[in-house]
Amino acid sequence: MTEVEDPSTAMAAKAAQTEPPSEKQVRLAELAWIRDEVVQGPAPGSTQAQHDRGKLTARERIALLMDDDSFTEIEPLRRHRATGFGMENKRPYTDGVVTGWGTVDGRTVFVYAHDFRIFGGALGEAHAEKIHKVMDLAEEAGAPLVALCDGAGARIQEGVTALAGYGGIFRRNAASSGVIPQISVILGPCAGGAAYSPALTDFVFMVRGVSQMFITGPDVVEAVTGARMSLEELGGADVHSRTSGVAGFAYDDEETCLEDVRVLLSLLPSNNRELPPVVECEDPVDRVCEGLIDVVPADPAQAYDMRDVIEEVVDDGDFFEVHEGWAGNVVCALARMEGHVVGIVASQPQALAGVLDIEASEKAARFVTLCDAFNVPLLTLVDVPGFLPGVEQEHGGIIRHGAKLLYAYCNATVPRISLVLRKAYGGAYIVMDSRSIGADLAFAWPTNEVAVMGAEGAANVVFRREIAESDDPEAARERLVAQYRQELMHPYYAAERGLVDDVIDPAETRMVLCRALAMLRSKHSELPSRKHGNPPA
């Protein structure tokens, strides 16, 4: 038997089908449409055009950076108020920058990402105000800030208000320096005044074939100097990671680049009031480093790779090097020892015999200052024959630049440990965190030579007359060099005078350093009361 439908129910259903949507339903539908436009962008095909350039969109980049489904966007509905030049007819949502916060490994991180699909990512008044807002929030919340840069500079149609927007960014970069970690990831053009914001941040990442940074473009350079070059040749990733030192990292693709940004964040505290994250360590603290005996040759003139030493000493052989391609005669890296983050500054005998020059001094000085700002203990591995001699170095200001490293170490209040592996000569020995400039603990291997200069050079100065008056100057020189080395350069000379705390077995290096770092974790040291110092320029 077929059930007969209630007429009243049928009439009600029919009425519901013809009843107009409520105001609430209309508004919700409008909101859904706007939010879809926010994500899709204003122009059909704009996302595909970005992909055709070999680049990800702003939101795809944020998704790679942040933990899944953790990003919260702020001011997605912001639009500019500019008029003239047809701007009043082009008012896309977001105004070309995506801002907000999310988590990386569960820790809060703020981000802004230029959306090249909108006005080429160019900065206007509303665009800048969104960035100012997220920068202020990051500082107030005490959380890192990551800038994903892919913009065409100031928005010409908005004139001086766009330039003022950059000024507000620069001021906030400076105010947050040493307070929260600031990371710039260059994923497109970054020209003119826009390049100064990344230069004010703690780390700069770039991607080959995608990123360019310069103050004046190739056309202007050619007009002024006659030199013709491409965007990549003028300001590409390899130029800034190997020649200028502006970028600390260079990659072949965006995915790998952003993955390493996550790694770097895992090694840094959220702000200057916290310690870096600690992880569980399964690598035994007392692990014997037998390999070190073979890694470092006893002959002070023979080269080796200091990275092999670092790999032997740190947890699981894992470290994160900064500025790997620039100033290769010094290695700067973040690593963990007993699960705690440590900053490593190390001579690199494989490059220029490990001497300090202008670029190495600048590289190490900035790294030391960064570690001190963010409560990262410093470990200095010393095998340095001195400063690089030469007219070019002297005229280039090696005195000023070397003093930067000296100032950075003297100003650092974090735990500081130095280890002399082989050579430690002259002023370079002092500068590389010797006891005399405030290292908390200094150790040395039995192969160490701590002296004003090498034995050959010293003997030529001290015994110049005696060598000259000898019947056999060469034999006399060899005899006097051996005498000088035996009396003033034996491994225990510095220890006998308290300049090193102990001479240790290389195989026990990890154990000694881990114990020393554990003891110094409660170190508390304050600088004299002052507004700020005046470091060498």
Q: Encode pLDDT of 51-106 as tens digits.
A: 988 999 999 999 999 999 999 999 998 887 777 787 777 778 888 899 999 999 99
With the C-alpha atoms ordered 75, 79, 81, 85, is the resulting torsion angle positive or negative? positive
Q: What is the mean pLDDT of the chain?
A: 89
**What are the start-end ranges of the E strands in 170-254?**
182-186, 189-191, 203-207, 212-214, 249-251
Smallest Cα–Cα separation from 378: which of 358, 404, 408? 408
Give pLDDT, residue 9. 60
How does residue 274 score in pLDDT terms, banded at 50, 70 and 90? Answer: very high
262 in the same domain as 305? no
User: Does 23 have pLDDT greater than 90?
Assistant: no
Q: Model confidence over 301-356: pLDDT tens digits?
A: 899 999 999 999 999 999 999 999 999 999 999 999 999 999 999 999 999 999 99
328 in the same domain as 206? no
510 in the same domain as 444? yes
Q: Within its chain, how far is the Cα of 536 from the centroid?
A: 21
User: Does 222 have pLDDT greater than 50?
Assistant: yes
**Rounded distance between C-alpha atoms, residue 319 and residue 331, angstroms:** 11
The share of the chain scoring above pLDDT 70, in percent, equals 92
Find the domain containing 441 and state its range: 291-448+491-520
Residue 335 lies in a domain: yes
User: Does 488 have pLDDT greater than 70?
Assistant: no
Q: What b/e sequence results for 106-122 when a residue is b if at least 16 CB atoms lie within 10 Å of its CB, and e otherwise?
A: ebebbbbbbbbbbbbbb
Of 57-66, 219-228, 240-249, 430-439, which gets the smallest average pLDDT? Answer: 219-228
Residue 525 lies in a domain: no
Q: Within its chain, how far is the Cα of 53 from the centroid?
A: 27
How many CA atoms, within 13 angstroms, populate the side-chain half-sphere of residue 473? 7
Q: What b/e sequence results for 469-504 when a residue is b if at least 16 CB atoms lie within 10 Å of its CB, and e otherwise?
A: eeeeeeebbebbbeebbeeebebebbbeeebbbebb
User: Does 518 have pLDDT greater than 60?
Assistant: yes
Distances 82 to 91, 99, 122, 408 between C-alpha atoms, Å: 9, 21, 14, 46
Of 242-251, 295-304, 307-316, which gets the smallest average pLDDT? Answer: 295-304
Rounded to whole angstroms, the maximal C-alpha distance in the chain is 134
301 in the same domain as 178? no
Instruction: Report the interhelical angle of 509-520 vs 306-313 (nearest 10°).
Output: 70
| Greatest mean pLDDT range, 200-209, 460-469, 483-492 | 200-209
134 in the same domain as 57? yes
User: Does 481 have pLDDT greater than 80?
Assistant: no
317 in the same domain as 232? no
- What the block records as the tokens of 11 is 């009439």
Q: Strand 182-186 vs strand 416-425: parallel, antiparallel, or unpaired?
A: unpaired
User: Does 385 have pLDDT greater than 80?
Assistant: yes
**Rounded distance between C-alpha atoms, residue 149 and residue 187, angstroms:** 6
Q: What b/e sequence results for 315-350 when a residue is b if at least 16 CB atoms lie within 10 Å of its CB, and e otherwise?
A: beeebbbbbbbbbbbbbbbbbbbbebbbbbbbbbbb
Rounded mean pLDDT, 274-282: 96
219 in the same domain as 300? no
Of 91-95, 193-197, 397-401, which gets the smallest average pLDDT? Answer: 91-95
Give pLDDT, residue 1. 45
| Greatest mean pLDDT range, 4-18, 205-219, 398-412 | 398-412
User: Does 294 have pLDDT greater than 80?
Assistant: yes
Rounded mean pLDDT, 276-291: 95
The count of domains in the chain is 2
436 in the same domain as 329? yes
**Residues 364, 404: contact at Cβ < 8 Å?**
no
Give pLDDT, residue 6. 60
367 in the same domain as 232? no
Other CB atoms within 10 A of residue 102 CB: 21
Smallest Cα–Cα separation from 310: which of 283, 286, 285, 337? 337
**Rounded distance between C-alpha atoms, residue 62 and residue 82, angstroms:** 28
400 in the same domain as 254? no
Residue 57 lies in a domain: yes
396 in the same domain as 298? yes
Give pLDDT, residue 45. 82
What's the distance, Cα to Cα, between the start and end of the chain in Å?
Answer: 97
Q: Which of the two residues, 309 and 120, has the higher pLDDT score?
A: 309
**Rounded distance between C-alpha atoms, residue 512 and residue 183, angstroms:** 34
- The catalytic residue positions are 192-193, 427-428
255 in the same domain as 137? yes
Residue 504 lies in a domain: yes
Give pLDDT, residue 459. 60
User: Does 7 have pLDDT greater than 60?
Assistant: no
Show the DSSP H helices in 226-305 as ranges.
Answer: 231-235, 237-238, 254-266, 291-295
How does residue 462 score in pLDDT terms, banded at 50, 70 and 90? Answer: low
Rounded mean pLDDT, 510-533: 92
- The one-letter amino acid code at 411 reads N
**Rounded distance between C-alpha atoms, residue 457 and residue 480, angstroms:** 11
Residue 339 lies in a domain: yes
CATH number of the domain where residue 382 is located: 3.90.226.10
Smallest Cα–Cα separation from 199: which of 152, 252, 235, 253? 235
Residue 26 lies in a domain: no
Q: Strand 145-149 vs strand 319-322: parallel, antiparallel, or unpaired?
A: unpaired
Q: Strand 107-114 vs strand 97-104: parallel, antiparallel, or unpaired?
A: antiparallel
Residue 29 lies in a domain: no
Residue 116 makes CB contacts below 8 A (sequence gap 6+) with 50, 53, 55, 57, 58, 150, 151, 152, 188
Q: What b/e sequence results for 278-296 when a residue is b if at least 16 CB atoms lie within 10 Å of its CB, and e otherwise?
A: eeeeebebebebeebeebb
**Residues 175, 139: contact at Cβ < 8 Å?**
yes
Give pLDDT, residue 14. 60
With the C-alpha atoms ordered 411, 414, 420, 421, is the resulting torsion angle positive or negative? negative
Rounded mean pLDDT, 269-288: 96
Give pLDDT, residue 453. 60
Compute the residue count for the chain.
Answer: 537
- What the block records as the tokens of 268 is 């840094």
The share of the chain scoring above pLDDT 90, in percent, equals 61
How many CA atoms, within 13 angstroms, populate the side-chain half-sphere of residue 290? 0
How does residue 255 score in pLDDT terms, banded at 50, 70 and 90? Answer: very high
Residue 1 lies in a domain: no
User: Does 461 have pLDDT greater than 70?
Assistant: no
